[in-house]
Every structure is written in structure tokens, then in C-alpha cells.
Amino acid sequence: MSGLFFLSWRNLFRNPRRTAASLATVGLGAAGLLIYQGFNEGIMNQYRENVIRVRYGHGQVFPKGYRDRAHGNPREEWIKDPAKVEKELLSIPGVKQVYARSSFYSFLTKGPVRMAAKGEGVEWKKEPAFFTSMNFEEGSDLTGPAQVTLGRGLANSLGAKPGDEIRLMSQTVTGDINDIGVKVAGVFHTGAQDFDSGVFRVDLKTAQELLKTDRVELFTLQNDSIEAWPAVSKAIGEKLPQLDRVPYDELDAVYYKNAVNFLDAQFAFIRLIMLLIVALGIFNTITVGMLERAPEVGALRANGEPRRRLFGILVRENALLGVLGGALGIAVAVLMDKTILRGGIPMPPGPGITRHFLIFLEIQPRHYVQAMLLPMLATVLSGLWPVARLLRSGIPQLLRP
């Protein structure tokens, strides 16, 4: 077996011109495949980080059945004794931090302008350390209890800027109307148009004072890692069966999950096209090479070399060619990542997003394996027909000048 590989390896460099042409074809295909894989991974990770570090964390927990049905008075379903629930959540392995939240609808009034919008009560002392993708265009995140941050579209509609006074008016849990004054701390632009045009954030205690309640609607979780969610979810189900657990991708199924599914399908199709191009290019090179080597094969056949042994040598040559081409492609892709593409690739806003992104290649270990194996497989498969056709030819035909 080792002898066949040695012969195959030596044969590759008997014709440097032909080998160089084949390596260039396979290498460019592997480089393109690896760069696109890293680009695709970069886009999906950018989307994921935006979803996690703007709105949902790694997941959220709600009262049992809260998200599955409509409620006449949903605030009666909110979590009682949130301090106790928070302590129990923090005791679960894999949970690094929890953030209590409550959402509500309110009228925002600034001078003669009044608008309805959705408010989120958040813990202003804790959240900025983790929710780092709010992208404040003006001002800053909440720094005190009597403040509000506005989405860019909402701020533009109100004509509000940092330092302005706004009054919030909402219905309390008892059905009364309550209002409270707050100061604009900042204006954010997350890129999600619906969110930026209709959401504001206030301190959780301020929201509870406005709504006249000490309950919270949900807890957002920060885990040790994204991969920790299944174990964390299982532990919450066992320890706190009164809570439902929902991961970030299900919470944002419309934009994030659908976008990921779309990109995955698109990448699979483009990867197939790349492999077909590599296979067609190498097929042409190998076919020409087999024609040039016909007298050599004929002489070996005339000296008693069996077809099976020759087939093994030629197939191994193609496999080695694919491996070397894959390695060359990896080297080219890494070089481009460290030089031409190291500053990132500016991308326009995607569907449903109003914010530009700078995408960096994020090449994972599995991508290197694919960039090595897939071109090798394409090279081997594309060479089977010309090799088999050559070996089926008769010895006189092969030796004919």
C-alpha cells in the first residue's frame, strides 16, 4: 500500500506543468470555499450577537403558559417574588447572570406630541455589562432610575434628544391611569426597524412604580456560553417547573432563525456550484493528462502490470492532488484573511434591518477539514471516468503514436 502511494507521489511531479495547472484549479476552488464558509459564519455570528446582546440574551424564562395564550390581564400572570426566583436561577450551573424585565404599553408625551410605544423595564445597573450592541447614536444607556432610552425612529417621531423631559402614561394593574416624568438618556439604533421605531427602555423600578406592581414579566439569561443552553434549560425545568424556557433563536424566529436557515440553504447551494466548477476544471486537466500518459500506461500494461494496480496508482495520484490543492487553497485563504480582508467586509443592511454591518471572516476548524476533503473528493470523482476509459483501451491503441 505504501509503495503505491510512493509511486503516485513521484508521478505527480514528473510533469510539473500539468501538476501546477491541476493544483491551481483545486487550490482556487478550496480557497473560495473556505473564504465563503468564513464569510457565511461571520454573517450568522454577527446576526446572532446582535440578537443576543440587544434583546434576548441566551434565552428567557416566562411564567408557565404565558407565551402560548392571550390573557385578559397578563400582569396577573407575572412572576411573583422575583428575588427568590432570581436566586434560584443563579444557583443553576451554567447561568452566569439573570436580568429581570417587564414590558408594557404606554403613551409618551413631549410637549404637544403624544405617541404610543412599547416600554421595557430593565435593570439599568446590570444590563449594560452584557447588552453591548445597543449602538447608542446619541447620549448613553440608562445611568439612573428616572431616565429613558429611545429607539431612533421613536426619538425622531417625538423630536426628542438626550436631556429632554418626557412623560410616560400607562394603565396600572388595577386599571387606573398613572403617569411619571423621565429624562432622555440616549437614542439607540439596533438595526431592527420595528424595535427602533416602537420601543423605549426605562429602569425596572420606574416601570413597576408606573404600573403599581412588584412582579416581573420574565427573566433574561446570560449563560456561560451559547452551547450551555440545553443543559441550563433542562435544569430550570427540573428546579422551576412553573417557568417556561425559550432560547434566543425561537424568540426571534422571524428575523434570526429564518435568516440562518436561508443562509445555510444558500451556502449549501453555492458550495455545490463551487465543487462542480472544481470538478469540471480538474476533469478537463486530468483527461488531457491521461491522453498524454497513454503510451506510459500502454508500456506498463505490456510489461504485465494489471489494470487494478494501475487504477489504484492513478486514483491515488488524484487523491494526493486534491489534498495538495486543498492545502494550497487553505494557505491562500488564510493569507487573504490576514491581509486583504483583515479590515472586514462592509455589508449593506439585510432584510428587515436598517443598520450596516462590518463582517469579518470567522473560519472554524471544521471549515479547514471541509476545504481539504471536499476538493479531494471532487478531484477523485472527476478523475474516475478518464482513468477507467484509459485502462479499458487495448495495449496496441495505447502504444500507438
Give the pLDDT score at 401: 61
Give residue limits of the domains in the chain.
Answer: 2-52+256-399, 65-241
Residues ≥6 apart with Cβ < 8 Å to 124? 141, 142, 143, 144, 145, 147, 203, 204
Cα angle vertex 214, ends 173, 176, to 5°? Answer: 20
For 124, phi then psi, to 5°, come to -65, -25
**Predicted pLDDT at 380:** 85
Q: What is the DSSP letter of 354?
A: -
Q: Which of 127, 141, 133, 267 is nearest to 200 (CA)?
A: 141
Roughly what angle, to the nearest 10 degrees, separates helices 258-292 and 307-338? 130
DSSP class of residue 61?
E
Q: What is the pLDDT along the chain (401 residues), one digit of tens a residue?
A: 555 666 666 767 777 777 788 888 888 888 988 998 899 888 888 888 888 998 899 999 999 988 877 666 788 889 999 999 999 999 999 999 999 999 999 999 998 999 999 999 999 999 999 998 888 999 999 998 899 999 999 999 999 999 999 999 999 988 889 999 999 999 999 888 888 999 999 999 999 999 999 999 999 999 999 999 999 999 999 999 999 999 998 888 777 777 778 878 888 888 888 778 877 877 777 777 777 777 877 787 787 878 888 888 788 888 888 888 889 999 999 999 999 999 888 888 766 677 777 888 998 888 898 888 888 888 888 888 888 888 888 777 777 76
pLDDT at res. 355:
75
Nearest to 321 by CA among 276, 375, 390: 375
CA 191/CA 45 separation, integer angstroms: 15
Q: Could you tell me the pTM of the whole model? A: 0.78
Cα–Cα distance, 348 to 2 (Å, whole number)? 53
Question: What would the 3-class secondary structure string for 129-195 be?
Answer: HCCCCCCEEEECCCCCCCEEEEEHHHHHHHCCCCCCEEEEEEECCCCCEEEEEEEEEEEECCCEHHH
d(CA 82, CA 120): 16
What pLDDT does 306 receive? Answer: 83
Q: What is the pLDDT of residue 70?
A: 67
Beta bridge partners of 192: 353
Going by C-beta distance under 8 Å and a sequence separation of 6 or more, which residues neighbour residue 316? 4, 5, 8
pLDDT reported for residue 185: 96
Asked if 381 contacts 279 with a C-beta cutoff of 8 angstroms, the reply is: yes
Please tell me the predicted confidence (pLDDT) of residue 8. 66
Cα atoms found within 13 Å of the Cα of residue 212, Cβ hemisphere only = 11
- Is the distance from CB of 59 to CB of 360 less than 8 angstroms? no
pLDDT at 375: 83
Query: What DSSP letter does each residue of 81-144 carry, written as one string?
Result: SHHHHHHHHHTSTTEEEEEEEEEEEEEEEETTEEEEEEEEEE-TTTGGGT-----EEEE-S--S
